[in-house]
Amino acid sequence: MSHVPDKLNARAPTGAAPVRAKREWHPALVLVCAFLSVIALGTLVLLLPISRAEPGSAPFMTAMFTAWSAVCINGLSIVDTGTYWSGFGQAAILCMIQLGGFGMMTSATLLILWAGGAMRLRSRLLLQAETRSLSLGDVGSVARVVFIVTLTVESLVAVWLTLRFALGHGMPWGAAAWHGVFHAISGFCNAGFALWGDSLSQFVRDGWVLVPVMMAIVIGGLGFPVIHELWYYRRRPEHHYSMHTVLTLWGSLVLVTGGRC
C-alpha cells in the first residue's frame, strides 16, 4: 500500500541528505540574545582606553557592570559617570541607555518601515514581545509612535535643560548642551544615570531643571502601549481605553500625588 508523503515529510531524492525543518527561536530568547550582544559590545567599548578620563583602561568588572546597568536602565553605578568616563565613554553609555530604553527590536522595525519593506510575522512577534503590544496589528504603529514620542520629548527636554544650564547656572554652551541631552535621555528612559556625583541634588530648589526631568520620567514610565493608545485615540473621546491603560494612568497619578504621604 503506497502512501502519499506530505510537504513536511516528503522523501528526499536518492542520495540526497534529508531536508530538516528550520528551527525557529522563541521571540523572548531572541530579545535576550539581542540585549546580551549589546551589553557585550558596550563592555568592549568601555574597556578601550579612550573611554576612560584617566590614562589606562577601565577594569573589566567596572566596564561590564556599567554596560549592563546602562542597557538594562536600572541606574546603578560603581563609579562617578561624569568624572570616571571620558566624553567618548559617556557617549557610549548614553547610546546604551537609548538602545535599552528604545529597544533593539523597535529600532530594527523602524529601519524596515523606513526602507519600505514588509514586516515578516517573526519580526512582528519580536516587536510585540518587546513593546508588549496588545495585538500583532499594532506593532507597526507602536514603533512609529514610540519613535515620535521619544524624539519629541527628549528633544524638548534637552533644549530646555540646555538653556537653563547655560543661562541660569552659567555653564558654557557646549557643556550645557551635552548635560541637557544626557539627562533628557536618561530621564525619559528612566535610566538613573547623571553626570554629577550627587545626581541632581544641587538643583533641589530649581524647578526649571527638576520639572522637565520629572515630566520626561513620567512620560517614559507610562510604557509604549499606553503612549500608543493615548496617541492613536487622542481625537476620539468616545473611545473606551483598555484596562491596562486605565490602571497605568490611575496608578501613576496615585503614586506621583501620594508619594509624599
Residue 115 covered by a domain: yes
SS3 (DSSP) at 85: strand
CB 146 within 8 A of CB 102: yes
Summarised one tens digit per residue, pLDDT across range 20-72 is 555 665 555 666 777 888 899 999 999 999 999 999 999 999 999 999 999 98
CB 188 within 8 A of CB 215: no
Q: Which pLDDT belongs to residue 253?
A: 83
Q: Is the pLDDT of residue 148 over 60?
A: yes
Total domain count, the chain: 1
* pLDDT greater at residue 225 or residue 138: 225
Alpha helices in 115-258 (DSSP H): 121-131, 139-163, 169, 173-188, 207-221, 224-232, 243-257
Residue 12 covered by a domain: no
| Strand partners of residue 85 | 52
The domain in which residue 105 lies consists of: 27-257
Sequence-distant (≥ 6) Cβ neighbours of residue 183 within 8 angstroms: 157, 161, 194, 195, 200, 213
Length of the chain in residues, anyone?
A: 261
Residue 17 covered by a domain: no
- Cell numbers for 199, please give them: 545626581
Residue 16 covered by a domain: no
Residue 15 covered by a domain: no
Q: Which pLDDT belongs to residue 34?
A: 76
Q: Give pTM, 2 decimals.
A: 0.75
- φ, ψ for residue 85 (rounded to 5)? -100, 145
**Dist CA 158 CA 152 (whole Å):** 10
**Dist CA 73 CA 193 (whole Å):** 8
How many CB atoms are located within 10 Å of the residue 210 CB?
Answer: 13
**Dist CA 145 CA 173 (whole Å):** 31
Q: Average pLDDT over the chain, rounded to whole? A: 78
